[in-house]
Structure 1
């Protein structure tokens, strides 16, 4: 099968409340058909949902890996993140994120595998249950279960809160990331952070809506019982990937999830933490590709 370039096309979907949701897309099926390229319509599309404070670029290498197998792949910027619209009323609940995901799934219009990291994984559980197995055929949860570790989640929010006022330089941002992720090799150059930061008024700011954190009583990492019940009711194949160094998903929580959701499989990545896709992308992408293509 011939495949397209590994470089994606930037596209825009419409989410709930008509928000513009920006995404990177590889191997668009309609374009493949019109250009005469071989495209295996029996394979599902793949929709990737990032974690809180991240964006679609978190998935780039994995997207390219899946696209090289001829898959149609979409990496989405969630509302309030990256280049997508911010919610005018700061609605960043898991229900709002789920509504966006369902809207995007309808626009993709094909059976789809959902891959969700952290916030995106919780969204994926709810969206998979509401969409049904004909639309969402498989679900991959990246270092998240409904009963996550509150201390680990608090550490994420503390990191996000502590830098909401930006950085003086890219180097300062790189130092902050290195301190937060000591197990990850620090890049030689901080230039890659430009995909996650925007320069305004002489400072570098993370490219997400501060209201995502600051609106009272709107923590998206909630609804434990609702999300757990949704996961239990799923009949599709599920893959849970945990970073062994994670402080957000414990070994006990994994066993609890696998007991309650018997159709779920489990893989642990020894060299990864909560940000598994970025910590050991080669191993992560291999596991994901095997599950999607199986």
Structure 2
């Protein structure tokens, strides 16, 4: 277990966050306790869930059964898109607290802006209020564009501490990252392995073979060296361990450059487009 894995990076002015975490998207509620429990045993201390994943109760069970104190775990959840407006957001935070069986969340995010409904500014005001009530230590967003970030900052004066967006070697967010840095907003990468598609990239495979590492380890190391927070997920114990074992090597500038050349911003996205995703769930 690498000591460096416990290093945290500043998140706004209030707290800090582990750079490597464990995501639970698409893990069934019945499978989550075992997966999260193993992740905590391995050394992960950031657990990322969401109301829309329908597995907060499973995460709660893992937290109850863990040999790790709650104070050592950084816990993130995200609002359903139906939890809109000031009151909806506050109620949503309380719902997650109940489902997760905790007194506070380290971080709560607006999961999607759903721009057609035009309620993300008021939802942001609700998260600000939830933070002021002590329900959550800090607040951020997910899937927000530059324009949407500018709007919530401009209308409330409160800057999100983090924006969680799809990012991987085929979709590198090269324009978004410097903008986020200029605002003091941390970048967190979801689908960091491109929903598995990037694992088969021949350049990634070549770099992995040369290093005697797995493709996933090469990709996750690339994320860390870019300064991003990353949340891979798996239900396979060996993969959970492998994804954590990325602190004993460093990619060279040449290797980083080869991965940089894999970017395909027009076709690389594997998930929904935040400018057109407006589903209520």
Q: TM-score under structure 2 normalisation? A: 0.36
Q: TM-score under structure 1 normalisation? A: 0.34
